[in-house]
């Protein structure tokens, strides 16, 4: 898989055995990762229910194109470019399109990143888009399942602590709130 140990850039995902995948059931999570996803989903829902979401204010998490209601100006780097393409897809196919989100997640997952900082931010954007609602329940489960499998693989391999995902998402939200002011 490009970006994972191929010398072309920083990887943001743990290596997994072929076919290893964590599938989330809508009614119940699977083990510790299911509980973690429910906690993260609750935190994101609480954050998105605030005044900024109600008013449709931008939450610029990176560059000129990454973040809800944020998109204008020149593309600044590889992550901004991927966010631009995701925004364009959403304009073409309508908001909350699971296909746009899944294509965006695949790009973020496979792209080699030039620095650890950009890799970490891309990983946080990947995890945030996995939790963002989309129109198709099956697509939503697939998005969350992919992100949960990557998180579980990174934890199981010792590449990160179990709560590192909360640190990434918290930093992404904090940056978006700081840039929105």
**For position 59, what pLDDT does the model report?**
85
**25 occurs within a structural domain:** no
- Does 37 reside within a domain? yes
Question: How far apart (Å, rounded) are the C-alpha atoms in residues 79 and 24?
Answer: 28
Under a CB-based contact definition with an 8 Å cutoff, are residues 61 and 179 in contact?
Answer: yes
The answer to whether residue 21 sits within a structural domain is no
| Percent of the chain scoring above 90 in pLDDT | 55
Confidence of residue 54 (pLDDT cuts 50, 70, 90): very low
Domain range spanning residue 44?
31-180
In a domain, residue 91? The reply is yes
Structure tokens at 23: 């599938």
Q: Quick check: is 18 in a domain?
A: no
Task: Provide the pLDDT confidence category of residue 11 given band limits of 50, 70 and 90.
Answer: low
**Closest C-alpha among 10, 1, 11, 23 to residue 152:** 23
Q: How far apart are CA 113 and CA 173, in angstroms?
A: 21
């Amino acid at each position: 898989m490009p970006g994972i140990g191929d010398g072309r850039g920083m990887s943001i995902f743990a290596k997994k055995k072929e076919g290893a995948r964590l599938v989330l059931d809508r009614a119940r999570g699977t083990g510790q990762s299911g509980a973690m996803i429910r906690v993260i989903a609750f935190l994101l829902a609480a954050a998105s229910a605030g005044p900024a979401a109600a008013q449709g204010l931008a939450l610029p998490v990176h560059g000129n194109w990454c973040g809800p209601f944020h998109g204008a100006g020149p593309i600044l780097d590889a992550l901004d470019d991927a966010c631009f393409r995701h925004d364009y897809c959403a304009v073409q196919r309508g908001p909350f399109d699971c296909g746009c989100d899944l294509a965006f997640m695949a790009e973020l997952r496979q792209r080699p990143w030039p620095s650890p900082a950009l890799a970490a931010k891309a990983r946080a954007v990947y995890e945030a888009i996995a939790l963002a609602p989309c129109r198709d329940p099956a697509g939503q489960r697939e998005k969350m399942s992919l992100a949960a499998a990557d998180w579980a693989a990174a934890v199981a391999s010792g590449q990160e602590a179990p709560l590192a995902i909360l640190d990434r998402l918290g930093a992404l939200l904090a940056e978006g709130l700081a840039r929105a002011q």
